[in-house]
Amino acid sequence: MCKNEIVYIAKPTWYTENMYPGHRQFYVKFIAQLKEYHEVRELELPDIWVRDFLPFQNVQSGELYQPYFAPRYANYTAKFTNAIWMLMRNLFPQAKLCDVRIDGGNVVISPDKKYALCLQRQTLFRQKETDKKVYVENELKRALGVQEILWLPRQIGDKIGHIDGYLQFLGNFLMEGILELYGGMTTGSLLDDKGVEMLYNWATREDWEILHLLCKVNEKDWLDATGIYVNFLETSRAVFVPQFDLPEDDKVISTIKEYSRKPVVRVDCSKIAKYGGALHCLTREYYE
């Protein structure tokens, strides 16, 4: 694929500002930061979390594939999700169908483009549905261009199920979100014990170096992404790191700078993260 990377983002409208007060104020600053490094395409959309519903891009061929978008974690009506589906078909008519109900936030691609890491969800297949699992894997491999799908187990209590809230690759490093509850009571992986064991087994097999990235979690609000620093955006030219006006902001920036030679850009997400996401969720990069 040509390495002309374009970043897509939803521009503010009266509709999205009504749903997410503060999005316009966040957007004005963030779009200016993005444009310092990339060509940016702003889309007028009914929702701002474009990672979830914009088409996948095959890492081998560059072709686009459109999965089904019908999340159960949000109070979206059938009419709303259908409107998004129809809009995607109009904006990206060249996109082929990926016959899987999966959000883009539940897919993280390894640096060598061989693997896609995903959280297992009952909306995809149940544990004993072997035939359905094989079908889902084949569809995702066809759409993403990867060789294998690596499934992390469903995390108990997780109502969203997006893997980009748990881990992210930074260059060749695998950044694992490490949990610190408000009040400093507990520290440990954002993943449960089974998830950690599987992740480290893969890392050993593939020679991935796992690094820890501190995150804060608000136990009182499962939707609030404030403190989820692992939802950063790495592009070919920079690393955009969410900041939440928390004491941990500077420590996270230092960690990212230690392991990346790219410019590290602070992005204030304090006004938008409370609605359920940060920079990775808000963007989608395509190569043309």
Fold exhibited by the domain 5-287: L-arginine/glycine Amidinotransferase; Chain A (3.75.10)
Structure tokens at 245: 């006006």
What tens digit of pLDDT does each residue of 211-226 get?
A: 999 998 877 777 899 9
- The fraction of the chain above a pLDDT of 70, given in percent, is 95
What's the rounded Cα separation, in Å, for the pair 112 and 172? Answer: 8
pLDDT tens for 138-159 read 999 999 999 999 999 988 888 8
> Across 123-132, 149-158, 211-220, 259-268, which has the greatest mean pLDDT?
259-268
Q: Is 264 left (phi over 0), alpha (psi -120 to 50) or beta?
A: beta
Which segments of 71-157 are extended strands (E)? 96-101, 108-109, 115-119, 148-152
The domain segmentation of the chain, as residue ranges, is 5-287
Amino acid at 279: L
| pTM recorded for the entire structure | 0.94
Contact 225, 215 (CB under 8 A): no
Altogether, the residues listed in the chain come to a count of 288
Q: Give mean pLDDT, residues 108-137.
A: 89
Q: Which two tokens stand for residue 65?
A: 């594939």
Taking 70 as the threshold, does the pLDDT of residue 182 lie above it? no
Give 286's pLDDT tier (boundaries 50, 70, 90).
Answer: very high
Whole-number Å distance between alpha carbons of 34 and 224: 24
